[in-house]
Structure 1
Amino acid sequence: MKNIILLTSLFIATFYKAQFAISIKAPIDFNASEAYLYKLNGSKDLIIDKAFKKNNTWDFNVKEKYEGMMKVYFPETNSSVTFISENSNVLLNFTTKNGKVAKIDYLDEANKIFYGLQDQQKKKEQILPALYQIVTFYRDDSAFGKALNDEIGNLSTNISYNAEKHPFIDYYTSNYKKYLSETAGVKAPGNSEIINFLNSTNNYLETSSLLRPILISFLSNSNKASLAEETDKLLKTVNLETPRGQTILSELIEIFNVYSIKDLKDKYLAEAKALKCTINDRLSGTIKSNENTAIGSVFPNYKFIAPSNTKTKSIYDIKADKKVIIFWASTCSHCEKEIGEMLTKYNELKSKNIEVVGLSLDSDKHSYTEKVKLLPWINDSELKGWYSSYVDTYNIHATPTFYIVDVSNKIISNPDNFVEVLNFLGLK
């Protein structure tokens, strides 16, 4: 009996030892109640907890071991704060400006070091070269000359930390410097080196936010003719039957989608669908969102929240021979151009029983409502920016994104711009 009690006590102690707490404090005037905690997988935020404000503070208890980037999102203000976890307690405060998160004060050791390094690296890349030029115009014994030399000295001296005590910080810092930092006179790694790294590095890769930028660097090393060949080498090495290989495949499909490299997106999406092994959640989600929006698929319905210019309750309730659906944002310069062209043709579209539906990725209510006042077609928004529910459902990676559906809500075209919309509809 004593042995059982001892084992139980050891289990409980181990269980609680693996947990860590996150405490975030906001100013009293920050008008948010609920908050969501996310961890990272590649470039995807995965929700793991929810908390409500108490005494202007949000407290989370994380039960599973986790080392990597994290984020807390406040949906009522569409604000977020990012930080790292090294499987130890996180403590931070923030100030606000115009109701949004402004300055973040990291109070735990790991985040103090990490964001100190981030700030220094940014200044090294963007400010230090300019300081070297400016300082030549001032005497060393002048007040400003001394200040310039002091700042150059500060930026030239690396912040020290214990790599064994802070393994995630060391992983992120060393690999960012090696694979992503643009240092004068230092040759960037070639594709063979990148492939070896992606295949052999530890699981910090998925939680570090480095995966997608390194993949983009890898693709940038390849010319158009060799892009598929180089990608095939990478995927063969990392093995598509492993979680790492499937996460990389998912990232590549989405990158090819973002950059409109349709032939390669289709090629690797077909490879993903043809896999006979167990598929991880990340790749499964990529396959699903692409199936939702494939030509010939029925466009998933969307129930409106507060639509303008309609009394209908959802996309399916709109009666039209065809519907042009645009995902846009009031702050998107490309959208501004497309919307300008749409305004000149909207009456002609309506005359042919073609309706336009805009789903906005705005987060600022004022900016959205002011813009929508000028638009005659149906518009709606969750006002959650890229946290909007339709981002994953409709495979949205950039604004504007267009879909054309028929009377049965079947997708018949996915044009790149409004000119292609008109060409497809025979209205150019």
Structure 2
Amino acid sequence: MKKIALFATVLLVNSYHAQFKIKIDAPASFTPKEVYLYTLNGSKDVLNSKEMKKGNSWQFDVAKPYTGMLKLYFPEVNASINFISENKDVQLKFDTDKNKIVNIDYLDEANFTMNQIQDIQQKKEVILPALYQIKEYYKGTAGFGGALDTEISRLSKPIGDISKFPFIKFYNSNYSKFLEKSADKPAITHTEIIDFLNKSTDMLETSSLLRPVLVSYLNVGPSTSLSADVDKLLAAVNVETPRGQTILSELIEIFDTYGMQELKDKYLAEAKSLKCTINDRLSKTIATNLNTEIGAVFPNYVFNKATNTTAKSIYDVKADKKIIIFWASTCSHCETDLPKIIEKYSSIKAMKGEVIAFSLDSDKAAYDNKVKMLPWINDTELKGWYSSFSETYNVRATPTYFVLDSNNKIIAKPDHAADVISYLKLN
């Protein structure tokens, strides 16, 4: 029996084989200990695993095949690194400046190639048009004129053979076709985009192209036919399929982000009415919206390091009305809106109300400097858009407002500070 048990253990150990490994090297001065690895589904980062630092490096053993975009996130300093997987080993290292990541070196062939292509792509879109204009004033081929010719030639050349990198080929060719800005390119059509969405492999969901391509689709043709265009798209991709449901989820979130409430409501209702099995992506979109509809009970949040209160959570705060604000110190609209709420805060308190504000800041100094001027309950995770409450409460922009009653039921979702003041009859 002992021999059989030992043999079984050997089989179990040998049965595990990572698809690929990810090795990250950092300077000894980089203090964070943990790092999270995210894969991608459409525009959503999906947590894959977490590793702790060993020495000055981290290593992930990725068990399942994956081709597409990846992200490393260091929560202790709110820093991230984007890279790709061709389902092969990845290696990178970086330098730091005061715990900030700088000068990333992609050491595996696929990521080195992708980084070079993206560098050229960015310069081609942003710098190349300006170089052509400058060249008009430097006609010669010597000196600066020659240097201009060299750089224009380098940026104008087609990308070399990337056939051995399936993901890079998929990403680059479709970015160039659907998203690259060029005056001499023919306008893309609805039919071409629908064909691309229907025929693409699973790399579409892991490429980061899905949402910008959908935005491109929405920008084709007159805005008066937008609803009909979306209906045509959804019929073509079939919302009873996983891809169709991911596209429907993306569209609902696009309409939410851009304040297109009627379209959001229409397609959210369509999502809710589906009778088929719903994938995780669309299911989460529906659930998040249900949690934040008028009439829903606002999900509780246990405070992290809240100021101006001894309460431990939103539900612990006792008030007839609770005004929830999501904001950031880098938000220009917040700079305009928050002083209006400050002006009325004493009146809000007089009517047994309270303001609870959550910051999507990532810089502690910026948050601390701003929060000193805010007299109400304040809290933050200092994780920017990685903050847990941005997903829980479907926050797509700052500032975002909710008004709750004494039982934490959502009774209003004002767009601006003036709407909050009007709703509370504090004009």
Q: Output the CA distance in 1 between the equivalents of 2:237 and 2:136.
A: 50
On the 8 A contact 1:363/1:385 being kept in 2, the answer is: yes
Greater shift after overlay, 235-244 or 151-160?
151-160
Q: Output the CA distance in 2 between the equivalents of 1:95 and 1:215.
A: 36
On the 8 A contact 1:86/1:110 being kept in 2, the answer is: yes
Partner of 1:391: 390
Partner of 2:295: 296
Q: Output the CA distance in 1 between the equivalents of 2:109 and 2:30.
A: 26
Identical columns (%): 56
Once the two structures are TM-superposed, the CA of residue 87 in structure 1 deviates from its matched residue by: 0.1
Q: Output the CA distance in 2 between the equivalents of 1:141 and 1:210.
A: 39
AA matched with 2:155: L
AA matched with 1:305: N
| Structure 1 residues 189 and 15: CA distance shift in structure 2, 3 A | farther
Structure 1, unpaired ranges of 5+:
1-8
Q: Output the CA distance in 2 between the equivalents of 1:257 and 1:84.
A: 29
Partner of 2:136: 136
Once the two structures are TM-superposed, the CA of residue 188 in structure 1 deviates from its matched residue by: 2.3
Q: Secondary structure at the match of 2:232?
A: helix
Q: Secondary structure at the match of 1:36?
A: strand
Partner of 1:93: 93
Q: Within 5 A, what are the aligned runs for 1:227-376?
A: 227-376=226-375
Q: Output the CA distance in 2 between the equivalents of 1:416 and 1:79.
A: 30
Once the two structures are TM-superposed, the CA of residue 136 in structure 1 deviates from its matched residue by: 2.8
Q: Output the CA distance in 2 between the equivalents of 1:297 and 1:258.
A: 20
Once the two structures are TM-superposed, the CA of residue 25 in structure 1 deviates from its matched residue by: 1.1
Q: Output the CA distance in 2 between the equivalents of 1:210 and 1:419.
A: 37
Q: Output the CA distance in 1 between the equivalents of 2:265 and 2:139.
A: 61
Once the two structures are TM-superposed, the CA of residue 139 in structure 1 deviates from its matched residue by: 5.2
Once the two structures are TM-superposed, the CA of residue 10 in structure 1 deviates from its matched residue by: 12
Q: Output the CA distance in 1 between the equivalents of 2:281 and 2:213.
A: 18
Alpha-carbon deviations, 1:343-368, whole Å to 9, x = none?
21111111111111101111111110
Q: Secondary structure at the match of 2:161?
A: coil
Partner of 2:409: 410
Once the two structures are TM-superposed, the CA of residue 14 in structure 1 deviates from its matched residue by: 8.9
AA matched with 2:67: E
Once the two structures are TM-superposed, the CA of residue 161 in structure 1 deviates from its matched residue by: 2.7
AA matched with 1:107: L
Partner of 1:6: none
Q: Output the CA distance in 2 between the equivalents of 1:129 and 1:82.
A: 27
Greater shift after overlay, 186-195 or 287-296?
186-195
Alpha-carbon deviations, 1:359-410, whole Å to 9, x = none?
1111111110110011101100011111111111101111111000001100
Alpha-carbon deviations, 1:319-338, whole Å to 9, x = none?
11101100111111111111
Partner of 2:71: 71
Greater shift after overlay, 184-193 or 302-311?
184-193
Greater shift after overlay, 84-93 or 195-204?
195-204
AA matched with 2:106: Y
Q: Within 5 A, what are the aligned runs for 1:31-50?
A: 31-50=31-50
TM-score normalised according to structure 1 size: 0.95
Q: Secondary structure at the match of 1:61?
A: strand
| Structure 1 residues 185 and 141: CA distance shift in structure 2, 3 A | closer
Once the two structures are TM-superposed, the CA of residue 97 in structure 1 deviates from its matched residue by: 2.8
Q: Output the CA distance in 2 between the equivalents of 1:73 and 1:11.
A: 31
Structure 2, unpaired ranges of 5+:
1-9
Partner of 2:6: none
Once the two structures are TM-superposed, the CA of residue 84 in structure 1 deviates from its matched residue by: 0.3
Q: Which stretches of structure 1, 4 residues or more, deviate above 6 A after TM superposition?
A: 9-15
Q: Output the CA distance in 2 between the equivalents of 1:188 and 1:390.
A: 39
Q: Secondary structure at the match of 2:94?
A: strand
AA matched with 1:127: I
Once the two structures are TM-superposed, the CA of residue 128 in structure 1 deviates from its matched residue by: 0.9
AA matched with 1:277: C
On the 8 A contact 2:341/2:421 being kept in 1, the answer is: no
Q: Output the CA distance in 1 between the equivalents of 2:141 and 2:209.
A: 43
- CA root-mean-square deviation: 1.8
Q: Output the CA distance in 2 between the equivalents of 1:286 and 1:48.
A: 20
Q: Output the CA distance in 2 between the equivalents of 1:425 and 1:103.
A: 51
On the 8 A contact 1:179/1:188 being kept in 2, the answer is: no
On the 8 A contact 1:295/1:412 being kept in 2, the answer is: yes
On the 8 A contact 1:222/1:230 being kept in 2, the answer is: no
Once the two structures are TM-superposed, the CA of residue 191 in structure 1 deviates from its matched residue by: 1.2
Q: Output the CA distance in 2 between the equivalents of 1:341 and 1:362.
A: 20
On the 8 A contact 1:37/1:70 being kept in 2, the answer is: yes
Once the two structures are TM-superposed, the CA of residue 132 in structure 1 deviates from its matched residue by: 1.4
| Structure 1 residues 138 and 281: CA distance shift in structure 2, 3 A | same
Once the two structures are TM-superposed, the CA of residue 11 in structure 1 deviates from its matched residue by: 11
Q: Output the CA distance in 2 between the equivalents of 1:223 and 1:350.
A: 48
Q: Secondary structure at the match of 2:322?
A: strand
On the 8 A contact 2:71/2:83 being kept in 1, the answer is: yes
Q: Output the CA distance in 2 between the equivalents of 1:223 and 1:146.
A: 45
Once the two structures are TM-superposed, the CA of residue 162 in structure 1 deviates from its matched residue by: 3.2
Partner of 1:25: 25
Q: Secondary structure at the match of 1:137?
A: coil
Q: Output the CA distance in 2 between the equivalents of 1:419 and 1:262.
A: 19
Partner of 1:427: 426
On the 8 A contact 2:65/2:87 being kept in 1, the answer is: yes
Q: Secondary structure at the match of 1:27?
A: coil
Alpha-carbon deviations, 1:30-64, whole Å to 9, x = none?
12100000000000000011101112111101010
Once the two structures are TM-superposed, the CA of residue 195 in structure 1 deviates from its matched residue by: 1.3
